[in-house]
Amino acid sequence: MTERVGFSAGRVGTIALNTFTESVRQKVYYILLIFALVVIASASFFAQFSFSEQLKFVKDFCLGALSVFGALIAIIGTAQMLPAELENRTIYTILAKPVRRGEFLLGKYLGSVCLVAVSLLFMGLMFGAALWFKEHRLIAEALAMAESTPADELQHTLQQIRAEALDPDILKGVLLIFVKLALLAVVTLLVSTFSTSMVFNVAVTVMVFLAGHLRGVATEAWGEMLWVRALLAIVPDLSAFNVADDIILGNVIPWGHVGKVALYGLVRTVILLAAAHLIFSRREI
Amino acid sequence: MDAIRTENLTKKYALGWRRGKLLALERLNLRVHEGEVYGLLGPNGSGKSTTLKLILGLVTRTEGEAWIFDVPCDQVASRLHVGFLPENPYFYRYLTGVETLEFYGRLCGMRGAALQKRIDALLELVGLARARDRRLAGYSKGMLQRIGLAQALVHDPKLLLLDEPTAGVDPIGSRDIRDLILRLKQMGKTVLLCSHLLAQVQDVCDRIGILNLGQMILEGDVRTLIRDQRRLSFTVQNLPAEGQARVEEAVRAAGGQVIAVEHPQTTLESLFLDALRKDERGMRQHD
Amino acid sequence: MWVKLWVVLVLVVPAVLTVPLEQSIEAERTRLKYGGAPLTRAVRASVGQGMAIALLAGFRGVVADFVWIQSQGFWERKEWLRQYRNIELATTLQPQSVLFWDLAQWHLAWNIGYAVRTDPANRTAAVGIKREREWQERAREMLVRGIENVPNRYELYFTMGWLYWQKLSQWQSDGFCRAAEYFGLAAAFPNAPTYVGRLYARALEKCGQRQQAYEYWKMLWADRGRLHQLPSVVERELKRLENELQIPVEQRVFPEAMQP
């Protein structure tokens, strides 16, 4: 008998879709409702500030919340995946079929990333709606004061409101947030390949999250010691993904830089995925 | 060719740092022939589940080897013709019966109309046709066991591994599953089942093996094993009292010994099933 | 054991391999001035513990906004020094924010300046004026720092010019000349709005450089087709200056408007 079972993208897709469906039906997306509250609040308050301030606040708060809630979905969604599979023994039924462990792990991961992507899409749409709403209100306010403003100054104001409200560069920021969350998800996945407790998975990932942001500070403080540098190099540098603040301030973020950071995230993700596979393929289930 | 063959299959679990190792299975030589129903018996912790996991490649063996239809069990291809029902399966609570079978079918490379046809047939076979679009969160224990069986059968495997298929299921459900196993045997499938409910094993199995503390302590044909060669029992009807005395007399005269004379008792199970059958309101439908 | 070795290999070796990529990203961030000032212990201490965690987790903009919004409350309670502290903190957190620098000087020179001058606690009017000048000086210093951080945009040059024109020229004899200097720098940016150029011309005139002002108005006239330029204003100013400077008729843009 020379039957061979190769790697199958179809099986990966089946498992990914199943993971995604399961999360959606578990109503993970309720978390998005809280995001909606942040969006509405940030878009409705702060009327006493200037239009530039108001738009900055909306963008900062919405992108900040998008990043936080995205991270919550990525970490919690991924952290419970393998423990739930083990506890419900569903993993036995899957791996007893002609399914490779790598296919199972990749499928699980992609399902989780899918959930993150769809959540970001929804949050992005809400964010866009908030900006649109704010833009129209600010323009209406500016026009109401048109009597007392010179024509060219008014034109300049309107132009500025439009430019600040609809800055396509924000998409670059959202893209890099997505890459960062995908990286966080794979960190969680890696931890859950050798632990069985969801709480442990979440705790370790949150520590990696903080350490990843603190790398710069830590390198400055203790960078002279080589072993500290080596230790820090293991943790991905997450501050590299934070360009949203700069985009909001109007800093130019070239596509070349976005591409380089995304590539960095991808390389890190692939490395961690490989490590997760290595551990998981030898795990006793 | 054997459906399952193991040679000196051994498994030691590490218990953690400085706590040594647990010998879960020791030098098991198991052969399950094609087309037979083999019962692996033993108390809890005797190594039954470990054996199944080793055969399925879910845990790595410490020593020895195992084959499924002559394919080494650490190859993915060895699982092409195996269906597995784990102990107390839960499955994905948020999927419906049909979706569950679709999922497992796709994992086995099935698609489209062929898969749909197979799913309909399976749901009919396990008696869940009416619950097909309900989410598994609302299934009873027996229904979960049956959807588990359907899932194991989805790609029409030649070999079935069943871990405690009737644990926690009520007698009616349990009898249904027993009937199903017999039906599968008639269809030519090979079945390896683990259980500690001996009465049921006795009814369906051709051969059994008994494990204790990781070692096979007894193996053989069921009927041969349980037959008491030195004793004989008669079951007679409408025998008057003096007739009984003459029979006992005849036995003694022929050199035999009468050990016990008693009214045969029905089993509690058949009493239970009988009572339900006689209930005028009929029996609960399973789906 | 083998597994552990493999994991170490898989984790450490590629991590080392990604170091060049990380360093290149870091170099680009520094070159493009992303992220702002380093989060020193002093900065972390001044935002408070909760905010410091948010800062370290990468939410710099959100923290700066909170600090900024808080400063509004201090303004309402007339706690000017605390307001000043928060404004400085916000600009330290996001030194790339034109908005913060711009509004910072406005709060200091205009709002607080006026409030301290008219403060009933002042013994004499002279005290009020002295206090106002101090706050205006703080505003100027703030803008110097702002321009240092965002030198490649017109906004802060314009703001500085406006500060000199509106406030500092009251006490400084060269106030309008300094205003002209900054307006000139701002107007040189192609994306500066048209009124910056017109203010530049007016500031030149107020500085006493009427000939240069005239030349600049002429340039604006040549460029009158530009969007949002107000040709009628340019025309009026040119006509006035041509008469006041007694430009020979053959050199005038509007010879017909010559007054005897």
Measured in angstroms, the CA of A78 and the nearest CA of chain C are apart by: 20
User: In chain B, what percentage of residues exceed pLDDT 90?
Assistant: 40
Bridge-partner residues for B221, per DSSP? B207
Inside any domain, residue A27: yes
pLDDT attached to residue C1: 59
Residue C147: is its pLDDT beyond 50?
A: yes
Q: How many CB atoms lie within 10 A of CB B94?
A: 17
More confident residue, B234 or B152: B152
For A57, A185, B71, C8, the CA distances from A70, given in Å and listed in that order, are 19, 10, 45, 30
pLDDT attached to residue B189: 93
Considering only A197-201, B122-126, B276-280, C79-83, which range has the smallest mean pLDDT?
B276-280
Provide, for chain A, the percentages of residues in helix, strand and coil under a 3-state DSSP scheme, each rounded to the nearest 5: 80, 0, 20
CA–CA separation, B76 and A98 (whole Å): 6
Inside any domain, residue A262: yes
Q: Which of A59, A253, A279 is closest, CB to CB, to C3?
A: A279
Check CB contact under 8 Å for A97 and B71.
no
More confident residue, C96 or B277: C96
The b/e string for A138-169 (b: 16+ C-beta within 10 A; e otherwise) is bbeebeeeeeeeeebebebbeebbeebbebeb
Q: How many CB atoms lie within 10 A of CB B6?
A: 24
Q: How many domains does one find in chain A?
A: 1
Which of A125, A130, A154 has its CA nearest to residue A141? A154
Q: Helix or strand or coil: residue A212? A: helix
Q: Is C42 at the interface with chain A, CB within 8 A? A: no
Check CB contact under 8 Å for C69 and A57.
yes
Check CB contact under 8 Å for A238 and C69.
no
CA–CA separation, A201 and A180 (whole Å): 17
What integer is the mean pLDDT of C22-30?
87
Model confidence at C50, pLDDT cuts 50, 70, 90, reads confident
Residue C95: is its pLDDT beyond 80?
A: yes
pLDDT attached to residue C254: 81
Check CB contact under 8 Å for C25 and A150.
no
Q: What residues contact A111, with CB distance under 8 A and at least 6 apart?
A: A15, A16, A17, A18, A19, A20, A22, A23
pLDDT attached to residue C57: 81
CA–CA separation, B13 and C235 (whole Å): 95
Joined together, the tokens standing for residue B126 give 């396990």
pLDDT digits (tens, 9 = 90+) for A69-98: 999 999 988 998 999 888 888 899 999 999
- The CATH number that domain C96-208 falls under is 1.25.40
Size of interface A-B (CB pairs under 8 A): 100
pLDDT attached to residue B282: 62
pLDDT attached to residue A1: 45
What integer is the mean pLDDT of B161-168?
87
More confident residue, A44 or B153: B153
Considering only A151-165, A235-249, B98-112, C196-210, which range has the smallest mean pLDDT?
A151-165
pLDDT attached to residue B15: 78
A1 DSSP assignment = -
Question: What integer best gives the mean pLDDT of chain A?
Answer: 88
Please list every residue in chain A whose beta carbon sits closer than 8 Å to the beta carbon of residue C194.
152
Please list every residue in chain C whose beta carbon sits closer than 8 Å to the beta carbon of residue A233.
15-16, 18-19
User: In chain C, what percentage of residues exceed pLDDT 90?
Assistant: 50
Inside any domain, residue A30: yes
* Interfacial C residues in 188-247 facing A (CB < 8 Å): 193-195, 227-230
Measured in angstroms, the CA of A84 and the nearest CA of chain B are apart by: 10
Inside any domain, residue A32: yes
Residue B285: is its pLDDT beyond 60?
A: no
Check CB contact under 8 Å for A150 and C35.
no
Query: Residue A184 is part of which domain span?
Result: 9-281
Check CB contact under 8 Å for A18 and B92.
yes
pLDDT attached to residue B240: 87
Check CB contact under 8 Å for B76 and A98.
yes
pLDDT digits (tens, 9 = 90+) for B12-50: 988 777 777 888 899 999 999 999 999 998 888 888 989
Largest CA distance in chain A: 89
pLDDT attached to residue A223: 67
- Best of C4, C33, C75, C99 to disrupt the A interface (most A CBs within 10 Å) is C99
pLDDT digits (tens, 9 = 90+) for C245-254: 888 888 888 8
Residue A2: is its pLDDT beyond 60?
A: no
3-state secondary structure chain B: CEEEEEEEEEEEEECCCCCCEEEEEEEECCEEECCCEEEEECCCCCCHHHHHHHHHCCCCCCEEEEEECCEECCCHHHHCCEEEECCCCCCCCCCEHHHHHHHHHHHCCCCHHHHHHHHHHHHHHCCCHHHCCCEHHHCCHHHHHHHHHHHHHCCCCCEEEEECCCCCCCHHHHHHHHHHHHHHHHCCCEEEEEECCHHHHHHHCCEEEEEECCEEEEEEEHHHHHCCCCCCCCCCCCCCHHHHHHHHHHHHHCCCCCCCCCCCCCCHHHHHHHHHHHCCCCCCCCC
pLDDT digits (tens, 9 = 90+) for B59-93: 989 999 999 999 999 889 999 999 999 888 888 88
Residue B156: is its pLDDT beyond 70?
A: yes
For B175, B274, C28, the CA distances from B266, given in Å and listed in that order, are 16, 11, 86
Residue A230: is its pLDDT beyond 80?
A: no
pLDDT digits (tens, 9 = 90+) for A98-114: 999 999 999 999 999 99
- Best of B2, B70, B107 to disrupt the A interface (most A CBs within 10 Å) is B107
Check CB contact under 8 Å for B80 and A5.
yes
The b/e string for A242-259 (b: 16+ C-beta within 10 A; e otherwise) is bbbbbbbbbbebeeebbe
Model confidence at C156, pLDDT cuts 50, 70, 90, reads very high
Domain limits, chain C: 36-94, 96-208, 216-260
What integer is the mean pLDDT of B100-124?
94
Please list every residue in chain B whose beta carbon sits closer than 8 Å to the beta carbon of residue A4.
77
User: In chain C, what percentage of residues exceed pLDDT 70?
Assistant: 95
Residue C11: is its pLDDT beyond 70?
A: no
CA–CA separation, B4 and B127 (whole Å): 29
Cα B253 from chain centroid? 45
Which of C165, C149, B106 has its CA nearest to residue A9? B106
Q: Is C34 at the interface with chain A, CB within 8 A? A: yes
What integer is the mean pLDDT of A127-153?
85
Query: What is the DSSP code string of chain C?
Result: -HHHHHHHHHHHHHHHHHHHHHHHHHHHHHHTT-S-S---HHHHHHH-HHHHHHHHTT-HHHHHHHHHHHHHHHHHTT-HHHHHHHHHHHHHH-TT-HHHHHHHHIIIIIIIHHHHHT-TT-SSHHHHHHHHHHHHHHHHHHHHHHHHH-TTSSHHHHHHHHHHHHTGGGT-TTHHHHHHHHHHHHHTSTTS-HHHHHHHHHHHHHHT-HHHHHHHHHHHHHTTTSTT--HHHHHHHHHHHHHHTT--GGG-S-GGG---
Please list every residue in chain B whose beta carbon sits closer than 8 Å to the beta carbon of residue A100.
76
Which of C192, B286, C60, B69 has its CA nearest to residue A160? C192
pLDDT digits (tens, 9 = 90+) for B217-275: 888 888 888 777 788 888 888 888 888 888 888 889 988 888 888 887 777 777 777 87
Specify the pairing of strand B63-68 against strand B71-72: antiparallel
Inside any domain, residue A223: yes
More confident residue, B141 or B54: B54
* Interfacial A residues in 65-94 facing B (CB < 8 Å): 88-90, 92-94
Q: Is A186 at the interface with chain C, CB within 8 A? A: no
Residue C111: is its pLDDT beyond 70?
A: yes
Q: What residues contact A157, with CB distance under 8 A and at least 6 apart?
A: A51, A142, A149
State the Cα angle at A268 between A197 and A6, rounded to 5°: 80
Which of C188, A99, A26 has its CA nearest to residue B75? A99
Model confidence at B283, pLDDT cuts 50, 70, 90, reads low
Neighbours of chain C (3+ CB pairs under 8 A): A
Joined together, the tokens standing for residue A220 give 């400055």
Which of C212, C187, C190 has its CA nearest to residue C199? C187
Question: What integer best gives the mean pLDDT of chain C?
Answer: 87
CA–CA separation, A174 and A181 (whole Å): 10
A264 DSSP assignment = H
Size of interface A-C (CB pairs under 8 A): 140
